[in-house]
Amino acid sequence: MSEFTSGFWDVYIALATIVSIVACGVFLKHQSVHRVPMVGGEPQTSGHVWDEDLREYHNPLPRWWAWLFYLTLAFSLVYVALYPALGSYPGLLGWTQAKQLEEENARAQALYGPIYEKFAAQEVAALAKDPQALAIGQKLFLNHCAQCHASDGAGSRGFPNLTDRDWLWGGTPEAIRTSIAEGRTGVMPPFGPALGDDGVKDVAHYVLSLSGAAHDSIRAARGKEKYAQLCVACHGPEGKGNIQLGAPDLTDRVWLHGAGEAAIAETIAKGRTNQMPAHKELLAPAKIHLLTAYVLSLSAQAR
């Protein structure tokens, strides 16, 4: 609430909270003592009947039940006094979520810091073969990476497979660490307006020919010239890609957004934008070091 520029909402929330608690107490008191007058010597009912003869009467709450509600209201008053429940009022205890998180992180750092420091002093290649380091790295991966790359690192359409040896930005420890810490953004511009429908299909068939996939040779021949004009700057004259730009190798059979004429034509016509978020603000350098080793180990299994 401290982000609001006006103090109106502080007062509004505080009054709404206090008035609600007091109103509940008044209503509870009224319901505990008020009795509906009897009619013809019989107590009145609400009109609700169950199982033919079970009726709901207008009777006060049992005292033990009412006192439970009173205790709940008392607890509410104590809570709003001790904790920040009334606008920007900090509470008598001075507790905040941010403070609790900082304290928990400090305890975790004191407990696990020496472990991470021990691994931080070792080379990534060595850690990629250390079972204890990989066990910690796997937990980090499951918490921060599995949502996109899957729990086994195999990825899915649009999210790279980390278990093969095909790397958009390079598979060295340094390149992997940079990808994790700084993030990556890969952009494939749309060429549909420049090529037209037939031109897109021609280039798609030329791209298929680069990896030895089934293709239309006539379309591929026409597409080769267009490829040289529009695509060679990123993917290279032979289609080998460029890890400096994150441009994929078109000569293998690894397709991030799907193989076949339709998927490739869609990529050429509409373009693609992929982003790997940076984790340097979320993970300490020692954790990124271990995570790098774990990702490297996933790729090493493919060798």
Q: Which CATH superfamily is domain 99-183+278-300 in?
A: Cytochrome c-like domain (1.10.760.10)
- Judge whether 76 and 25 are in contact, CB under 8 Å: no
Q: What is the amino acid identity at position 167?
A: W
Distance between CA atoms of residues 90 and 224, nearest Å: 68
pLDDT at 1: 46
Both tokens of residue 191? 């060429």
Beta bridge partners of 76: none
Structure tokens given for 16: 């709404």
Mean pLDDT of the chain: 91
φ, ψ of residue 276 in degrees (nearest 5): -100, 115
Question: Is it true that 99-183+278-300 and 186-276 share their CATH fold?
Answer: yes
**Tens-digit pLDDT profile for residues 103-136:** 998 998 898 889 999 999 999 999 999 999 999 9
Q: Would you state the structure tokens that stand for residue 166, as one six-digit string?
A: 């095909």
The tokens 């299994």 sit on which residue?
301
pTM comes to 0.71
Nearest alpha-carbon partner for 180 in 154, 234, 143, 126: 143
Domains of the chain: which residue ranges?
8-36+43-95, 99-183+278-300, 186-276
Distance (Å, rounded) from C-alpha 280 to C-alpha 275? 15
pLDDT band at 55 (very low <50, low <70, confident <90, very high): confident
User: pLDDT per residue over 224-271, tens digit each?
Assistant: 999 999 999 999 999 999 999 999 999 999 999 999 999 999 999 999
Q: What is the CATH number of domain 186-276?
A: 1.10.760.10
Which pLDDT belongs to residue 72?
Answer: 96
pLDDT the model gives residue 3: 56
Using alpha carbons, select from 63, 67, 32 the residue that is nearest to residue 75. Answer: 67
Q: pLDDT tens across 219-237, in order?
A: 999 999 999 999 999 999 9
In sequence order, which residues have a C-beta less than 8 Å from that of residue 225 and are 6 or more positions away?
A: none
The burial of 278, by beta-carbon neighbours within 10 Å (0-12 exposed, 13-18 middle, 19 or more buried), is given as middle
Burial class (CB in 10 A: 0-12, 13-18, 19+), 50: exposed
When pLDDT is cut at 50, 70 and 90, the band that residue 37 belongs to is confident
- In the chain, the percentage of residues whose pLDDT exceeds 90 is 76
* pLDDT for residue 10: 85
Query: Which uninterrupted H or E stretch holds 254?
Result: none
